[in-house]
Structures are given as C-alpha cells and as structure tokens.
Amino acid sequence: MLLPGLASAGGCDLSEVVGYQLVQQKAIEGYIEDGKRRSGFEGCQPGRVIVFTDRTGIRCKEAIVRHLDEPVPKAYLFARSQTDVRMCAGDDIYEMAPAN
C-alpha cells in the first residue's frame, strides 16, 4: 500500500527505509562544512551538517555527492531511534546522525 504523500518523497528507493518511521519533512536551506556555511544542497560528506529552514540540522555519516537544483530542496527524515536516522533527498537515501 502506498501512503498518500509518499509518492512525492523524491525518487528514493523506500525499500532502504523498511522498518523506519517517516518522522518529518523539512526544507533544506544549506549546509555547514569546515566551519563555513553554504546555501543549497551538495549531498553529504562525513561530518557535514545539513541545515533546514527551521534552523535545525542533522549530520552526515557517509559520502554521497549530489547537487539538487531545486530552490529549496525537500528532505524526508526516517528514524528507528534518535541515533538511527535516514534522510531522503532527491533520489538518494543518506545515513545521518544528530548534529550535536
């Protein structure tokens, strides 16, 4: 069964988040890497913090380089626990961790 709204969760392979719960949809504002804040979304590098428009953030655990041309890309956050989080952005699912 396809849940309403999930069809527009980007092109992510949702089989990668079986067992996770969709917890939030957020708009990506930019990222912080090496102490510098940048606008847009360029994928993940370990330690990079993805910053959302609500001023929250989440840290990348793996490297997947991807540029999204959307003015404000959407991210869908899936979690099994507070430390086991996946983010769908564009067509990719990223392993994430709390930003603190």
How far is 13 from 91, CA to CA, in rounded Å?
A: 8
**pLDDT value, residue 3:** 53
pTM for the structure as a whole? 0.85
Extents of the domains making up the chain:
9-98
77, amino acid identity? L
The answer to whether 78 and 85 have CB atoms below 8 angstroms apart is: yes
**pLDDT value, residue 9:** 55
For residues 55, 89, 67, 53, the Cα torsion angle rounded to the nearest 10 degrees is: -20
Residue 16 φ then ψ, to 5° = -75, -10
**pLDDT value, residue 8:** 41
- Give the chain's residues under pLDDT 70: 1-10
